[in-house]
Amino acid sequence: MSDSVVDLLVLGSGIAGLSAAVRASGEHGLDVGVVTKGSLSDAATRWAQGGVAAVIDEASDSTDLHLADTLSVGAGMCDVDAVRTMVAEGPARVGELIAWGARFDRDAGGALSLGREGGHSASRVVHAGGAATGAEIERVLVDAVRATAAAVYEHVFALDLLVEDGRCAGVTVRHPDGSLGTVRARNVLLATGGAGQLYSVTTNPLEATGDGIAMALRAGVACADLEFVQFHPTALAVDRHPRPLITEALRGDGAVLRDLDGERFVDELSARDVVSRAVTQRMLDVGADHLWLDCTGVDDVADRYPTIVAMLADVGLDPAVDWLPVAPAAHYLCGGVVTDLDGATTLDGLWAAGEVACSGVHGANRLASNSLLEGLVFGTRAAAAVAAGQSGPAPTGVMAGVLDASGSPATVALDLDVVATGAAGCDPSLRSVLQQAMTHGAGVVRGDGSLATVADVLAAVAATPGDASVAALEVANLAVVGTALVTAARRRTESRGAHARVDASDADVVARRFVSHRTDGAG
């Protein structure tokens, strides 16, 4: 690993990080490094199925409609400017992916084939290989980054942000051989994805341990909306971790949900939080651990969804004839590190894009297939802002309320006592204890009693030291992010979007945003 100071160090290799790296290195000529704890193509992006939501057909759709759908699903918590930016710039970013070689599905006439998912008022989801969209995008971006001069460091675990004179100056890292070191950078982009591994039932890969959010919290960087965890209603209910996802696109093509009596009970194309709650309630009513997804009415399912059909064949199911056992699973973290419209965070020199960020485009609940879009748009914007020499956050997007917390009654600061773990991890054998506690206490439906129980478990995990192995460091990060999430969830004494409380059925009149700040000295 080079000793020089790079212009931009990207942490993470999903759609946001690679989009930024390609632009920063290839287009803007910056000196770029990419650090990833796995191999370059090992990101959650590769697992994304449904696709990228973007207004492609202006005869039947418009960015105003996409904006309205996103705001409606976000339950009063989206930042309108951030959403407008995303829906306006998204189509061009999709066009660039195609120019770089992305092979999206097309109809017989050669036009992009557009799918429909929950909460969308038009068909606007661009997809590849039926439900292999993420894998196709990751393939194209990995190739594009490899073709630039960006230096790629694989199997290197970023531990903590290096902060000097109030500015991010790089990161401390753990090398593959276990030795510790430092990578210095003028700018660092967090593109480390989400934290689905907080839960024992999740669609997220094993790597999704909230590392970037934990690093930000430890450094005192503002994070928000962490209580809004989106649960996907149709993960395959089999004994696997992570649970295989059954794409929502199938419901757009006519698949229906059935309870154990074979009855339909919800509009399958409602927003994802609505469907997940309906499925969970029905499961609780009858004490079941799954309901059914009936895809037998979907035309040509084998031809159109080959990866799903192959995955199901592995467990002895054929969607053309079998109903599929499904249950909700933790899928996406709507909040994260607060950014302005260019990805700048509250720490000069630190940027964030993609699932790790709270850019304001998802609010309290993400519209289906807006996540790949967010990564594309805001990864690209962050690279451009770094290249333009922007330093420090501007009062735009979600950042506006955070910078002006005193003048914004809708922004509430949360005190967060985060233990600085540095290179010391927590006992890795406690990972499953933490995950079980989160699933039972901070799941699709939560209440203060269940959240208090999880808070105790998280405190116990955080206080149990481990070694400096990657497994131990990941558990330490999960404990930090889980603590911030549960703290915010306890303070949000209302039900809103993906945050549903058994002890509060309605949303408050004012949509408040809880911003986590570290209060234990440093940061």
Residues contributing to the site for ligand SIN (CB under 6 A)? 49-50, 247-249, 368-369, 371
Cβ closer to ligand SIN: 73 or 385?
73
**Least distance between ligand SIN and beta carbon 112 (Å):** 17
Nearer to ligand SIN, 170 or 252 (CB): 252
Residue 385: partners with Cβ closer than 8 Å, 6 or more residues away: 342, 343, 344, 351
**335 and 228 in contact (C-beta within 8 Å)?**
yes
Beta-carbon contacts of residue 384 (< 8 Å; ≥ 6 apart): 23, 28, 342
Residue 121, CA distances (Å) to 89, 124, 279, 348, 355 in order: 19, 9, 22, 39, 24
The nearer residue to ligand SIN, 255 or 475, going by C-beta atoms, is: 255
Task: Quote the least distance from Cβ 449 to ligand SIN, whole Å.
Answer: 30
Q: Which is nearer to ligand SIN, 251 or 518 (CB)?
A: 251
Q: Give the 3-state secondary structure of residue 256.
A: strand
Radius of gyration in angstroms for the set of CA atoms belonging to the chain, rounded to a whole number: 21
101, two tokens: 């070689």
- Please, are residues 38 and 207 in contact by the beta-carbon 8 Å criterion? yes
272 is known as an active-site residue:
yes
Inter-residue contact 471 to 39 (CB < 8 Å): no
3-class SS at 45?
helix
Residue nearer to ligand SIN on the CB measure, 10 or 131: 131
Nearer to ligand SIN, 126 or 402 (CB): 126
**What's the rounded Cα separation, in Å, for the pair 240 and 224?**
31
* Maximum Cα–Cα distance across the chain: 64
Q: Which one, of 510, 425, 522, 431, lies nearest residue 465 by Cα?
A: 425
Nearest distance in Å: CB 259, ligand SIN: 20
Residue 373 · residue 90 · CB < 8 Å = yes
- Complex with ligand SIN: residue 368 or 461, whichever CB lies closer: 368
Measured distance CA(166)–CA(219) in Å, rounded: 10
Among 186, 272, 277, 431, the one annotated catalytic: 272
Please check whether residue 364 is in contact with residue 499, taking contact to mean a CB–CB distance below 8 angstroms: yes
Shortest Cβ 51–ligand SIN spacing (Å): 7
CB of 436 to ligand SIN, least distance (A): 24
Min dist. Cβ of residue 253 to ligand SIN (A): 12
C-beta of 52 vs 430, nearer to ligand SIN: 52
Instruction: Convert 421-457 to b/e letters by CB count within 10 Å (16 or more is b).
Output: bebebbbbebbebbbebbbebbbbbbbeebbeebbeb
**Nearest alpha carbon to residue 249 among 105, 38, 345, 455:** 105
Length of the chain: 523
Question: Cβ of residue 121: shortest distance to ligand SIN, in angstroms?
Answer: 16
Decide whether 220 or 319 has the Cβ nearer to ligand SIN. 319
Q: Which residues of 328-357 are buried (b: 16+ CB within 10 A; e: fewer)?
A: bbbbbbbbbbbbbbbbbbbbbbbbbbbbbb
Q: Tell the smallest beta-carbon distance from residue 115 to ligand SIN (Å).
A: 9
Q: Are 125 and 69 in contact (CB under 8 A)?
A: no
Query: What residue has token string 């799941």?
Result: 443
User: Which residue of this chain has its Cβ atom nearest to ligand SIN in the complex?
Assistant: 50
Distance CA 212, CA 225 (A): 15
Provide the minimum distance between the beta carbon of 232 and ligand SIN in the complex, in angstroms, as a whole number. Answer: 6
Cα–Cα distance, 357 to 221 (Å, whole number):
12
Instruction: Return the active site residues.
Output: 272
